[in-house]
Amino acid sequence: MVEFAIGEAARRSGVKVPTIRYYEQIGLLPTAARTEGNRRLYDERTMQRLSFVRHARELGFDIEAIRALLTLQDDPLQSCAIADSIASEHLAEVEHRIASLTALKRELVAMLAQCRHGHVEQCRVIEALSMPSGHADLRI
């Protein structure tokens, strides 16, 4: 059986050493076996789990969603309805963030379009940022 020290696990997985320790601490990874010198050792199954967690984090899943998905992964004969539900909830969150970012982009574009490249006293960017959120009328 091939086992990896934490530094090698970090290098192979792209996950930093402190993050691997954290994932182990919060139970996303099983407690690592230890050498006589008390160094952590990770087997291939744990490395696959670590890759799963890293990829899920890259996709923006939160820790609790990942925990639930890992629980499902550990029992592969279950229905995937829960996994579908978790992914659907995450998709809705992503769509909400996209809508918020799109609105932010429109606001920034409008601010810049109103800019007359004059002096700060007439600067629409400064004026818009000085107003309470939602009160800037950039159509003028």
Q: What predicted TM-score, i.e. pTM, was given to this entire model? A: 0.77
Q: How far apart, in whole angstroms, are the C-alpha atoms of residue 75 and residue 120?
A: 62
Tens-level pLDDT at each residue, the chain (140 residues): 889 999 999 999 999 999 999 999 999 999 999 999 999 999 999 999 999 999 999 999 999 999 999 999 999 899 999 999 999 999 999 999 999 999 989 988 887 877 767 777 767 677 777 777 655 454 43
pLDDT value, residue 139: 42
pLDDT of residue 116: 65
Q: CB count, 10 Å around CB of 67?
A: 16
CB-CB contact of 140 with 114 (8 Å): yes
Residue reference for tokens 């059986």: 1
Residue 66: what residue type? I
Secondary structure letter of residue 32 according to DSSP = P
Two tokens, residue 108: 């920034």
Contact call for residues 88 and 54 (beta carbons, < 8 A)? no
pLDDT score at 128:
72
Sheet with 33-34, strands from edge to edge, namely 3-5, 40-43, 33-34
